[in-house]
Amino acid sequence: MQVCCICLAKYENNDELRELPCSHLFHKDCVDKWLKINALCPLCKSEVGEDLTGLRSGEDATQTTG
């Protein structure tokens, strides 16, 4: 089972996720708040940039549980 490394909660089937360019997934609300403070991926420190419009979220983001 995967967890959001920002809030440490397990991903549930109805959670809205955001996929960063580095392919890491986070809860949308968690990572949006994170990126307002720090424009780097919380896991790999890849630069994300300040524009969130190009990032995949919702049904477009792949959610993997298991």
Residue 61 has pLDDT above 80, yes or no: no
**pLDDT tens, residue by residue, 4-41:** 999 999 999 999 999 999 999 999 999 999 999 999 99
Listed residue (5, 43, 4) closest to 21, CA to CA: 43
**Domains parsed from the chain with CATH numbers:** 1-66 (3.30.40.10)
3-state helix, strand, coil in the chain (%, to 5): 25, 20, 60
- CA separation for the pair 52, 35 (Å, rounded): 8
Residue 3 has pLDDT above 60, yes or no: yes
**What pLDDT is recorded for position 49?**
73
pTM of the model: 0.74
pLDDT level of residue 53 (50, 70, 90 thresholds):
low
